[in-house]
Amino acid sequence: MLTEFSIVPLGVGSSLSGKLAIVLKIIDESGLPYKVNPMGTVIEGEWEETMELIKKCRDELMKHEERVLINIKIDDRKFKTNAIDEKIASVEKKLGKSLKK
């Protein structure tokens, strides 16, 4: 199961990088395969471990925030592993060229 998520605390002003660093440290230490992009983080894992990780990020931010917004987008496909690498590779193969990542 592939999951992209982003989390934004409200009320901290327009610079978020310090808060995002806290979240990305948790993700990086989780051991789940992940890829950061400028709008969110894609992780690969089963439902329970994925939701537990997102909850951990939210709980950590909520220690110091009054309100957070979270976006979660899931692509859940039976019998599919290593989708985090293969999904783009499969498109690139069809295109016959490399894409910017």
CA distance 3 to 44: 6
List, edge to edge, every strand of the sheet that includes 40-44: 2-9, 40-44, 34-37
Q: What is the DSSP letter of 65?
A: -
Out of 26, 30, 49, 84, the only residue in the binding site for a second copy (CB under 8 A) is 84
Q: In the structure encoding, which two tokens stand for residue 97, read together?
A: 């060229």
Instruction: Specify the DSSP element, H or E, that contains 8.
Output: strand 2-9
In the complex, what is the shortest distance from the CB of residue 73 to a second copy, in angstroms, rounded to a whole number? Answer: 6
Length of the chain: 101
Interface with a second copy includes 26 (CB under 8 A)? no
The contact mask relative to a second copy for 34-73 (x = CB under 8 A, - = no) is xxxxxxx-x----x---x---x--x---x---xxxxxxxx
List residues near a second copy by CB under 8 A.
2, 4, 6, 8, 10-14, 16-18, 20-21, 24-25, 28, 33-40, 42, 47, 51, 55, 58, 62, 66-78, 83-85, 87-88, 90-91, 93-95, 97, 99-101
